[in-house]
Amino acid sequence: MKTYMEEYKRKLITAEQAAQLVESNAIVDYGMFATKPVDFDAALGKRAGDGLENVSVRGTGSILPIPEVIKNDIEQKTFQYFSWYFTLLDRKAADMGLAAHNPFNYHEATMLAYSQGEYKELEPQVWCAQVTPMDKHGCFNFGLGNSHNRGMALMAKIAIVEVNENMPVCLGGNDEYVHISEIDYIIEGSNSPVFTTPPAAEPSPEERKIAEYILKEIPDGACLQLGIGALPNLIGHMIADSDLKDMGIQSEMFCDSFVAMYEQGKITNAKKAYDINKSTYSFCLGTQDTYDFLDNNPRCASTQVMYTNDPSRVALQDKVIAVNNILEIDLLSQVCSETHGLRQISGTGGQLDFVIGAFHSKGGKGILAFSSTFKDKEGNIHSRIKPLLTPGAVVTVPRTQVHYLVTEYGIVNLKAKSIWGRAEALINLAHPDFRDELLKSAQEMKLWSRTNRIPF
């Protein structure tokens, strides 16, 4: 059998040598989530102020360690950082003017990465991501961040892998690897620990109530998508402790709670229309226990994000139950899940993908969940249901696409409801302390008729 060690040695360079390949006015792509390069980034960050100018660095869901191109650029103005999906780290950088958001629906990422020159402005000069060590077939596995990594690697003028022995091997699926013949250089990294998330915080009473409402909507044999956050993970753990059976998984993110569901025998994937017996996902951010579970696990399949998220593909599965968080909604039933006013908090991600896909799935439900109120920094309580969205807030899910909504006060299906019916349903979901105010606003906005019931 052919070995690839000669080619490996020929392509092996240091992180510092790799950083020297970046030119002024270049676009550098950093991979996705936990595949963000560490050693290459540190070397590139050291070039701030050495004559390098106007370098755009793109990430997706940036995680620790803080990218050195951000830390070293506060004074030098060498780099501008962009992120397809904002995390806390991206938000802090954006507050300092050091990061900007690239909006998109997540399933489109694969399409853009494979666009074959249609989007020239997207093409990176250099792509670099952390990968597993090369296997005997000459392949480097993308581990925890499949997403659109392969497409970006093939699109880039210079493709570099940074090998990390701690990256779990996440079997495919599709697009889970890049071959040595398809890359230009190899960095043997410092094998830093792969980023892990802390254990989920103890859920609030409101979150537990919301989860109880949602659990009643989930049938045996459902195909689940759970989004990012404490509430979706809580729902997964409640499923693990329930009498539900034959759950399937098709989710952009592999959640920690899926492991608990596997351990309790809840996940079989036996009822799926395709990828039978496998949980399909596109990336994972979680605990080390979750990473250990995914490592070389043939029951799970890492795929490109278009495969998991394309609404038309989601709809091919029956009984898709998609659960995602939102930040606020107005009486017109417009949903914002990604900004506080003009401040970017996260991104559209796959929320709209799965809301649409779940609705078109036979027996499916796209569920948007949120606690009815939140506290600001001063401890003041505000309603997440507002007459109109906060000025500057981005509409993540248009009112025409909203399916199920749930707060600690109930759950409602908005499909086919009039603007009057939507306003009434939303007021019923609101905290009682805000209902009078919302009712008055609904009347002023002509969203309330004499036939509407008094909701309390």
Main-chain dihedrals φ then ψ at residue 253, nearest 5 degrees: -115, 135
Contact 162, 15 (CB under 8 A): yes
- What distances in angstroms separate CA 402 from CA 191, 253, 352, 412, 416, one per listed residue? 44, 21, 9, 11, 10
Contact 195, 34 (CB under 8 A): yes
CA distance 306 to 253: 13
Q: Between helices 432-444 and 419-429, what is the axis angle to 10°?
A: 160
DSSP state of 344: E
CA distance 299 to 449: 53
Q: Which of 328, 265, 340, 259 is nearest to 300 (CA)?
A: 259
3-state helix, strand, coil in the chain (%, to 5): 30, 20, 50
Which residues are known to be catalytic? 252
Token representation of residue 313: 């593909």
Cα angle 435-439-440, degrees, rounded to a multiple of 5: 120
Q: Would you call 287 exposed, middle or buried from its count of C-beta atoms within 10 A (0-12, 13-18, 19+)?
A: middle
DSSP state of 267: B
DSSP state of 247: B
Contact 105, 74 (CB under 8 A): no
Characterize the bridge pairing of strands 328-330 and 335-336.
antiparallel
The residue type found at 417 is: K
